[in-house]
Amino acid sequence: MGTRLSTILPLIACALIAGLAYGWSYTFKDVPPMLIRGFQPGAFPRLVAGIIIALSLLGLWHARHAGDDRPDALPREFHLSVLMLGLFGGLVLLGDFLFALMIGCAGLAWCWGERRLPVLLALGLVAPVVVVLFFDAAFQVRFPRGFLINLYYG
């Protein structure tokens, strides 16, 4: 990515997201005048989105003489960590919460270079089970049912 592009792309992205939010706000229902407390429900988000667009344009104006501020390349471990977070998110939604925690913890440690089996077992097995049981017992947190959680809840 060119140096100028790395400076202006985030601002363009901000303006686009704010533009979408601005447009989407027109889909909000209007309420009868007697129910309005100040303004219609869409007015405030439109105001804020408008401010973001204006600020992004101001940022782009400032960036016209921008120098080289390209961030350093990200290492392999970072990409693996993001992938692991994605896998974890998928397992939370589609699989079992405890299993997802096990894979997430051990997977992250593995991605970051941990290869000792006892450590991986402690992180991927013992720690998630202890934490889940602790939250369940101490704070009455009920975890979503899945094939592993069901073993506990019955």
Q: Which residues here bind other proteins, judged by CB under 8 A?
A: 10-11, 14, 17-18, 21, 24-25, 28-29, 31, 35-39, 41-42, 44-45, 48-49, 51-52, 55-56, 58-59, 62, 69, 71-72, 74-75, 77-78, 80-82, 85, 88-89, 92-93, 97, 101, 104-106, 108-109, 111-114, 119, 123, 127-128, 131-132, 135, 139, 141-144
The encoded tokens of residue 83 equal 């992938």
- Shortest Cβ 26–other proteins spacing (Å): 12
Rounded to whole angstroms, how far apart are CA atoms 106 and 41?
46
CB of 154 to other proteins, least distance (A): 19
Q: How far is the CB of 71 from other proteins (least distance, A)?
A: 5
Q: How buried is residue 128: exposed, middle or buried, by Cβ count under 10 Å (0-12/13-18/19+)?
A: buried
Q: How many CB atoms lie within 10 A of CB 101?
A: 21
Nearer CB in complex with other proteins: 75/154: 75
Q: Look up tokens 């094939």; give the residue.
A: 147
Place of tokens 């400032």: 62
* Nearer residue to other proteins within complex by CB, 114 or 151: 114
- Closest separation between CB of residue 24 and other proteins, Å? 7
Reading the block at residue 44, the tokens are 């405030």
What type of residue is 140? Q
Cα 131 to chain centroid, rounded: 22
Minimum distance between the CB of residue 64 and other proteins, rounded to whole angstroms?
Answer: 13
